[in-house]
Chain A
Amino acid sequence: MPTSTSHFDYIIAGSGTSGGVAAWYLQQAGARCLLLEAGKYYKPREDFPLPEADYTAQLMWGGGIEYNTRCDLAFIRGRCVGGGSVVNAALMDRFDDVAFDDWKAASGVPFFSESAMEPHYDFAETQIALEEIPDHHRNNNAQLFIKGMENCGHVWKPLRRCQSDCPTDAGQDCIACLGGCHRNSKQSTLATYIPKAEALGLEVRDYAEVTQLEYGKDAVTVHTPRGVFTADKVILAGGAFGSTQVLLRSGFRAKLPALGRNFSMHPQAMNLAVFDEPVDSHKGVLQGAKSLDPGFRKRGFKLENVFAPPIAIAVLFGRVGLPLQDFMRKYRNLACIEVAVRDENTGVIDVDKNGRLHIEKKMTDQDRRRMRDGLGAVKAMLESVGAKQVIQCKMAFGLHLMGGCVMGTDRKTSVVNPNFEVHDHPRLCIADSSIFPNAPGINPALTIMALSHRMATTQAAQ
């Protein structure tokens, strides 16, 4: 085994929801770990850029947004230490047996069940502060959502966020935290797992995108712009795009026929409603309530109250010129409900000869039907609470990028085995959203943490 200072027990490639958990658990178990991140290491409370234009450009891949090859679906993913956990809405849900049963059926993996995953969820939940948004903290947008749900006879539930000591009563507008939380209130891995692991000796390198892996008999060699490192094992934690891209760039396609397959993304569409009076959806708590309607779950979509800062709203609106300017004058009078579809995993992640991502993803007939059903429900809700106009944004986008390295027992149809190891490559492990066998239709962050904990405990036991 190499013993140079650049050799580690584990290299973790990606510092988001999966990588942060894995780094901390393995470091505290006594392993020597290196955490690599393609983006910048922003010190909390100091460096996060505040204007939307700046944080979107600096904290997201692609300078803000990426697209499928047809350029009709958009993807957003974090690129900084903490990854997606820094730029997401911090919503934390456990999966239900509907999701796990579908995973088990697709993968043959026996531990995909609420009961088998319970200890891992329990662990993940003890490491972060979780708060259900109470009634008095819901902003006008959330109140309209709830009223609309009740008017239409749908079941709703308060959203649960990972946050601590968020000064909502003092007027904090947490929409700003989409560009990184300036107070460490949001329980990103940057604010929780990573500093704890660093205190135990974890080494972190930013601007260190993994460009290639070399899988050897005794070690794995990792190439980055910050140097070449080796480790006994490498944990890929770059999410559906990042982890898949590294394996594709490193020549694993021929060995892993399922690599890049089964991509899904929970296509989301924003529905904006214009009201006579200001709603101020950008003030206070960004998200407060979600649908928990069994009928919606069966029909394959979910709803959440949500909003976005001006640039995102203007881009999503789609039109230009006077119609856009006049629409944006009504920004303070807008409410918004998002439809997220539990989509079919028919997408394909590939790379071109330069290693750049090519994402083939189309909405299937079923996806479009589910989206239409969701949009219909939203329109009825918004009209029931007095909306003067309901506008559906043209472009659907994905924040939950899943698949590409799916877990399963059959090496022809999967990339990772139930021990989280890449088939026939036990020095490579993955526990991020790329291993999802299909779209769960539920916010994935907490389950990524739980899976990463399961993977890390398995590794530590070895």
Chain B
Amino acid sequence: MASRLLNENAVKTLNRFGDILFPRNGEYPSFSELGCAEHVDDIAAHAPAEDIALLGSFMATLRFAPGFVLRGIVWATQNADRFPEPIGTNLRLLDMGIRSLTVTLYYSGKKGAHYTGPTPLNVIDFHLTIVRD
């Protein structure tokens, strides 16, 4: 399913970042294997449009970046407090952009049209009971 808010290159980079943050691990599918990025618009449509445009442009420019560059970015965002300001602030901002989006999609219970395995919510055995009238 094509995103209306992120172009194809940006979605590919989202999946690449997603696989660094959520690799295949036992019963857990990898981020891209799960196919949850198909639902990115469900989340991104409600964030400020300028923030999503900025994140989308950033992702699109990294489409052909080598894997070590993406891993380096993730390492830097995870260690933002080690950097001087304003670099630290920008890394924290990037961390929340990438991590919030991928975590939200990965643990959303949503999956791609072709994925048939357990979702991460199944893996952690998360169920809620809603009692209707």
Contacts and interface: CB of A to CB of B under 8 A. Distances in A.
A71 B93 CA distance: 6
Contacts of B126: 282, 309-310, 331-332
Contacts, number: 127
A293 to B, nearest CB: 32
B54 interface: no
B65 interface: no
A52 B44 contact: no
Given A183-B131, A311-B104, A331-B126, A321 B21 contact: yes
Interface in B28-75: 28, 42-48, 51, 74
B100 interface: yes
B47 A70 contact: no
Nearest to A319: B78
Contacts of A58: 46
Nearest to A316: B103
A321 B23 contact: yes
Contacts of A172: 129-131
Given A71-B89, A176-B130, A320 B21 contact: yes
Contacts of B45: 57
Interface residues of A, number: 47
A331 B42 contact: no
Interface stretch (A60-68, A87-95, A260-268, A428-436): A60-68
Interface in A316-334: 318-322, 324-326, 328-329, 331-332
A328 B120 contact: yes
A182 interface: yes
Given A70-B92, A321-B23, A173 B128 contact: yes
A63 B48 contact: yes
A64 B104 contact: yes
Contacts of A182: 130, 132
Interface string B4-38: 00000000000000001111010010000000000
Interface string B102-115: 01111111100000
- In this complex, the interface size class of chain B, counting residues with CB under 8 Å from chain A, is 35 or more
B23 A322 contact: yes
B23 A70 contact: no
B78 A53 contact: no
Interface in B78-133: 78, 85, 88-89, 92-93, 95-96, 99-100, 103-110, 120-121, 123-126, 128-133
A173 B89 contact: no
Contacts of B123: 328-329
Contacts of A45: 133
A69 interface: yes
A171 interface: yes
A171 B132 CA distance: 11
B130 A69 contact: no
Interface of B: 20-23, 25, 28, 42-48, 51, 74, 78, 85, 88-89, 92-93, 95-96, 99-100, 103-110, 120-121, 123-126, 128-133
8 contacts: A64-B46, A70-B92, A71-B92, A172-B131, A173-B128, A173-B129, A309-B126, A328-B123
Given A70-B89, A311-B107, 4 more contacts: A51-B108, A282-B128, A310-B107, A325-B23
The 4 A-B pairs with the shortest beta carbon distances in the complex, nearest first, are A63-B47, A53-B108, A71-B92, A57-B46
